[in-house]
Structure 1
Amino acid sequence: MTKCHCSIAIMVNFDVILNDIGVITRLQWTQLSMLAITGLMAGMHMTAMVFLGYNQLHQCSMPIQEGITKECNITWTEEMTESSRSLKEESGKLDQCTRFTHQTIDCTFWTSGNQTLNPVFEKCDNWTYDTSLFDTTVVSEFNLVCDHKQQGRLSQAVFMTGVMLGCTAWGQISDRFGRRMATIAPMAISVGAGIVTAFTKSFLQFTIARFIIGMNIMGSLASAYVLASEIVKPTHKPWVCQSMNAMFAVGVCILTALSYFKREWRRLQLWISIPGFTLLLVSWHMIESPRWLLSQGEHRKASRIIKRFMNGKEKKDSEEIQKLHQLANSEKDGEHTVMKRDTILDIVKLPNMRKKSLIQFYIWSAASMLYYGLTMNSGEIGDNPFINLLLSALVEFPALYLSILTLQKWGRRPSLASTMICSGTVCICIMFVPKEIPWLNVTLASVGKFFVSMGFSIAWIYATELYPTTARNAGHGICNSCARLGGMTAPFVAMLDVLGFAVPYVVFGIMGVMAGILALLLPEVLGKKIPETLQEAEQFGKKRKGISL
């Protein structure tokens, strides 16, 4: 097959064609329904560690009890348990990571209580866990407590590293081989890795398996998101894109319900992996993006899909549709005029695209840090992790659909800036609320999640409109990778709670406010034709005064 790589603009205005089609057709609804599965799967896997890695209450196992009953030839009573508890408090040295040794056994003390005891301590090597909320978690099975406490958060950081690398790789693959393949293939890998995760025998195996899931699950969602945005007309795009984002929240709600009924982490992991098979079973019916096909010179394939979109409607073809059909009919077998494929290196070489890209990179990173910082910490605020995460997910629905109104009325730039500034400000306010008032902390965290959900979803839409068709998935993929860098950093920022309960939220807040300010430097795209080539994207918003990077 012969391909001519050209840098000329696409001759067909695809937005006009989509406008001519009008309402969303049955075929488009079918495609959007299939693509929505990626959002469900991403929502479950991205937040699964809230329950898989829940930090169960624990204490050292106390072999001293058995030693006392044997050496003192007595029966352990409830009164002796109380004496033991009092003794622990009086010593002031015992915690969840140390315990009495057998050297502390003094039969006179345990029988009369008159003997002063000078206890000797040792580090725990075994713990008992509270099973009132969960039967087992990764923490209890692999003893991720005391000296190993931070390994759970490190595992989440490794997962986010996989997401970051995967989004970059699958973004490039999507622009090179198509949106369809870059949606289905990573989903298949994610399903397989998810099932393997449920049978891992060590924490290292668990972390590696989760890393593989991370490398693929968001890559599938990002490709599906771009595909969904490219098959609907501009006025439908905010509704479609925000509905895709809403499916992520639906996935979090499903995860919460499953975790409530499946209190054992291995079973929960299996249940959140199996739904991915649904997409694989119907993947044969998924179409390629006609806009991407046009960028590859595949006019015949694009024309056939447009005819299917028209669904046999008896209406006169517009000038653009006729132009597409003419190009398809004149196309020789095996020959395609392909637009030059642009990479992220091509993007950052141009000053205006470099400025817009760097600003977006920071905004995505900050938004992700806030989003996952508030989501993953939801189990640490208040007493019920199920209710906390469910509330955290439910606030996303009004946030996402309210943002549609702001997008259509105010535009992308003011909507993004205002929501990020509001989210950051609310997070900073947490520093003024004592930890002992959990309901107020949960309320503020939920309000912060409300605004960052709006901001993050707007950033997703914004990126698909600022990057050209020839590099849309590559640019979107790099933005997604920067977001995962923020998400990867969030667990480490959460570790700052050793300095104070509110310190992580202050850091999240400052990042959010700065992102909102930087958003004001981006060009508005409301009512504008989205760029098809890198040259168009470079000129887009160039006349607007701003900074040069």
Structure 2
Amino acid sequence: MGKKNKTSAVFTENEILIFENNFDEILEKTGCFNARSIAIFVTMYIVIMFGAMHIGGVVFLAAKMDHQCIVDSGTMDLVSEKCHINWTETETMKSSPVVKNKTSKCTRFTNEYLLNMSCSSWSSSSPLPPSGHIEPCEAWSYDQSVFQSTIISDFNLVCSNTWKTNVSQMLLMFGVLIGALVVGICSDRFGRRPLFIICLLALLVSAILSSIVKDYWLFSVVRMVVGLASIGLCVSGYVYAMEIMVEKYRVLFGQAIHATFSFGFMFFALFGYLERRWVFLNYIIAVPLALLLVIYLCVSAESPRWLVSKKRSHEGLNVFRQLTKKDDHILKNVLKVLEKNTTPILKKSSPSVPYNDSGEVIVEGNESGNTVTIFRNPVLRKISFIFFYNWFAVTCIYYGLTLNTSSLAGDPFLNFFLSGLVEIPANFGAVLLIKLWGRRPTVCLGNTVCGVALVAMVLVPEGYQAVDTTLYLIGKFCATAIFSTIYLYTVELYPTPLRGNGVGICSGFARIGGLTSLLILMLGQINTTLPYLTFGTIALVAGFLIVLLPETKGTKLPETVKDSEDLYTRRNRTVIQQCLCKNS
């Protein structure tokens, strides 16, 4: 008793109102880096990186393994005893019929037929004579030269069960879709920090559970939760970072967060190379989440910008004080300077974020700030539909090209490592373009170059593998750069009360794009160039639509719908003019 609370400070009512109306200016003057804020960023970064590993984990967890039908041990013993032979892989191959000069992997001769075969047939180097005595395989042996085990071998997802592999992958992406929609909306309602904690805990539990379950359908359902939690971490973490970051560092930190997928893929390739059993590989990327959860609980704090938007400005100001690098004395001085230069503020006159009697944010007339407002407001509706398509397009292309990496010749671990490595220059190269030209030209140029490169693959003659690979890497490079830029662009156009909703819904359309990419890749069964032609066309349309949006370079994050409307009405500079001018 009697001790001063070191975690809170006393602020006057007018100081709180000054804080509400000048958040970005105060953030710029006081900075956003101290030991605690850096610990939050680092922890979130590592957590999101592990989430990326779980989304991309299907590349190794569900890797294909060559297989062959095996005969039950009783039949093998009887044939060996009868003909005085040692049952080897040769006899296993002979127990299956030859179809189109290839040994069948899904059917074998019946036990009765094998037992009735003469010993000379078993001793011969030729296959056993054809017979109608054939039955489906019930057990298989798997080639363990690359992987010791995957879900393919543990759940026997071969032959008539091959389709189940696609089901688990679709459910994972469906979970990502649900997570993108739900987490964004819930983070706007309940806060960024609680949703990040819930998603982290859900990922920890579901990832470990997926290694334990013995039923494939239960495994697939659990993987859906893995997808939901993984993307939830990315959505809530990205919005949080952008809300407490000053404008001059926003681009760099935005790209750094997107580089978590690049580093996640690269580390996962290393882990996969060292551990070839999928269960233990899954543990390697799941167990560390427990430690990260404890660390995050100790260092994390709610977004002060979100607290202000929820009429909890005093709490937001105290959290802001804890996350800045300046002490209370300097923060107080900044508030006093702003107070002297500002017309006296009445509490009910013109706060930066208006509220109704129920405490909900009023964004237009009598409408409260909720998801419906995004579609009801004409400006937000136009912005949203353009973003919806662009998010759909870039995710469809990104996942389509990434999943196609598994079809490349060579070492699967090296290929996956390189697919992550190529994203690093794309992510940070986009930073230079964003700073030089802005968000809109970067997305427009990226979509255009990506579309041209992928469509050009249709024109490459057979045998020019180097040209194909170069165009493929150009497409992947551009898709990655767009992916990271579109996140930042979206955050900067939606107002604070609807930012999580907007990013969440856009991310939902992105996941639909991820699901669609699986269907587009199936066009390769008709013609190998059709998927690239489709991806290229989608990119070109996206590049055209993005021109209709305003530029956000050098602007403050909009706090209200009116701020977003003002940005939209100032979209009078063309992309070419913007690129040629030094300032935005």
Q: TM range, normalised to the smaller chain?
A: 0.7 to 0.9
Give the deviation of 1:416 after TM superposition: 0.5
Greater CA drift, 78-87 or 150-159: 78-87
1:33 maps to which residue? 42
User: Of 176, 187, 190, which residue of structure 2 is paired with 1:174?
Assistant: 187
State the alpha-carbon separation in 1 of the partners of residues 127 and 370 from structure 2.
77
State the alpha-carbon separation in 2 of the partners of residues 71 and 401 from structure 1.
67
State the alpha-carbon separation in 1 of the partners of residues 487 and 316 from structure 2.
25
State the alpha-carbon separation in 1 of the partners of residues 329 and 372 from structure 2.
46
2:536 maps to which residue? 509
Aligned residue type for 2:400? G
1:117 maps to which residue? 129
TM-score, structure 2 as length reference: 0.82
Give the deviation of 1:329 after TM superposition: 12
2:503 maps to which residue? 476
Say if 1:365 and 1:486, in contact at 8 Å, map to a contact too: yes
State the alpha-carbon separation in 2 of the partners of residues 538 and 79 from structure 1.
71
1:66 maps to which residue? 76
Aligned residue type for 2:222? A
User: Of 538, 542, 546, which residue of structure 1 is paired with 2:569?
Assistant: 542
State the alpha-carbon separation in 2 of the partners of residues 116 and 400 from structure 1.
58
Aligned residue type for 2:197? I
User: Of 138, 144, 161, which residue of structure 2 is paired with 1:148?
Assistant: 161
**1:344-359 aligned within 5 A:** 344-359=371-386
1:185 maps to which residue? 198
Say if 2:176 and 2:231, in contact at 8 Å, map to a contact too: yes
Give the deviation of 1:544 after TM superposition: 4.1
**1:221-240 aligned within 5 A:** 221-240=234-253
Greater CA drift, 338-347 or 407-416: 338-347
CA spacing shift, 1:249–1:378, aligned 2, 3 Å: same
Aligned residue type for 1:384? D
Work out the percentage of aligned pairs sharing the same amino acid.
Answer: 31
1:4 maps to which residue? none
2:149 maps to which residue? 136
User: Of 106, 111, 125, which residue of structure 2 is paired with 1:97?
Assistant: 106
How far does the alpha carbon of each residue in 1:147-204 deviate from its partner, in whole angstroms, 9 at most, with x for none?
Answer: 2222212211111111111221111111111111111111111111111111010110
1:17 maps to which residue? 26
User: What secondary structure sits across from 1:317 in the alignment?
Assistant: helix
How far does the alpha carbon of each residue in 1:94-121 deviate from its partner, in whole angstroms, 9 at most, with x for none?
Answer: 4332334453735454556799933334
State the alpha-carbon separation in 2 of the partners of residues 529 and 188 from structure 1.
33
2:390 matches 1:368:
no
State the alpha-carbon separation in 2 of the partners of residues 233 and 83 from structure 1.
66
Say if 1:39 and 1:221, in contact at 8 Å, map to a contact too: yes
CA spacing shift, 1:100–1:418, aligned 2, 3 Å: farther
**1:344-493 aligned within 5 A:** 344-431=371-458, 442-493=469-520
How far does the alpha carbon of each residue in 1:22-61 deviate from its partner, in whole angstroms, 9 at most, with x for none?
Answer: 4744443222112212321221111000000001122222
Q: Return 5+ residue gaps in structure 2 as ranges.
A: 1-16, 352-356, 363-367, 574-584
Give the deviation of 1:209 after TM superposition: 0.7
2:278 matches 1:268:
no
State the alpha-carbon separation in 2 of the partners of residues 114 and 95 from structure 1.
15
CA spacing shift, 1:265–1:244, aligned 2, 3 Å: same
2:10 maps to which residue? none
Greater CA drift, 311-320 or 519-528: 311-320
User: Of 73, 98, 109, which residue of structure 2 is paired with 1:88?
Assistant: 98
2:79 matches 1:44:
no
Say if 1:56 and 1:139, in contact at 8 Å, map to a contact too: yes
Give the deviation of 1:241 after TM superposition: 0.8
How far does the alpha carbon of each residue in 1:370-416 deviate from its partner, in whole angstroms, 9 at most, with x for none?
Answer: 22222223222223211111111111111111101100111111101
Say if 2:524 and 2:531, in contact at 8 Å, map to a contact too: yes
CA spacing shift, 1:531–1:77, aligned 2, 3 Å: closer
CA spacing shift, 1:9–1:51, aligned 2, 3 Å: farther
Say if 1:464 and 1:476, in contact at 8 Å, map to a contact too: yes
Greater CA drift, 48-57 or 527-536: 527-536
Say if 1:156 and 1:491, in contact at 8 Å, map to a contact too: no
2:85 matches 1:75:
yes
Aligned CA RMSD, in angstroms, stands at 3.5
Greater CA drift, 20-29 or 473-482: 20-29
Aligned residue type for 1:117? P
Aligned residue type for 2:131? P
Say if 2:32 and 2:244, in contact at 8 Å, map to a contact too: no
State the alpha-carbon separation in 1 of the partners of residues 93 and 151 from structure 2.
33
Say if 2:33 and 2:325, in contact at 8 Å, map to a contact too: no
State the alpha-carbon separation in 2 of the partners of residues 114 and 287 from structure 1.
72
Say if 1:465 and 1:530, in contact at 8 Å, map to a contact too: yes
State the alpha-carbon separation in 2 of the partners of residues 27 and 247 from structure 1.
21
2:319 maps to which residue? 305
Say if 1:470 and 1:532, in contact at 8 Å, map to a contact too: yes
2:214 matches 1:201:
yes
Greater CA drift, 310-319 or 278-287: 310-319
Aligned residue type for 1:75? I
State the alpha-carbon separation in 1 of the partners of residues 126 and 553 from structure 2.
81
Say if 1:164 and 1:215, in contact at 8 Å, map to a contact too: yes
CA spacing shift, 1:148–1:112, aligned 2, 3 Å: closer
Greater CA drift, 163-172 or 485-494: 485-494
Greater CA drift, 270-279 or 383-392: 270-279
CA spacing shift, 1:449–1:539, aligned 2, 3 Å: same
2:170 maps to which residue? 157
Aligned residue type for 2:76? E
State the alpha-carbon separation in 2 of the partners of residues 320 and 151 from structure 1.
65
Say if 1:238 and 1:407, in contact at 8 Å, map to a contact too: yes
1:5 maps to which residue? none
User: What secondary structure sits across from 1:520 in the alignment?
Assistant: helix
User: What secondary structure sits across from 2:21 in the alignment?
Assistant: coil
Greater CA drift, 396-405 or 104-113: 104-113
1:3 maps to which residue? none
Say if 2:69 and 2:96, in contact at 8 Å, map to a contact too: no
CA spacing shift, 1:440–1:336, aligned 2, 3 Å: same
Q: Return 5+ residue gaps in structure 1 as ranges.
A: 1-7
Say if 2:18 and 2:338, in contact at 8 Å, map to a contact too: no
How far does the alpha carbon of each residue in 1:466-492 deviate from its partner, in whole angstroms, 9 at most, with x for none?
Answer: 110010001001111111111122233
TM-score, structure 1 as length reference: 0.87
Say if 2:96 and 2:103, in contact at 8 Å, map to a contact too: no
CA spacing shift, 1:524–1:379, aligned 2, 3 Å: same
2:278 matches 1:278:
no
Greater CA drift, 397-406 or 34-43: 34-43
How far does the alpha carbon of each residue in 1:230-275 deviate from its partner, in whole angstroms, 9 at most, with x for none?
Answer: 1111111000111111122212222111111111111111111122
User: What secondary structure sits across from 1:232 in the alignment?
Assistant: coil
Aligned residue type for 2:501? A
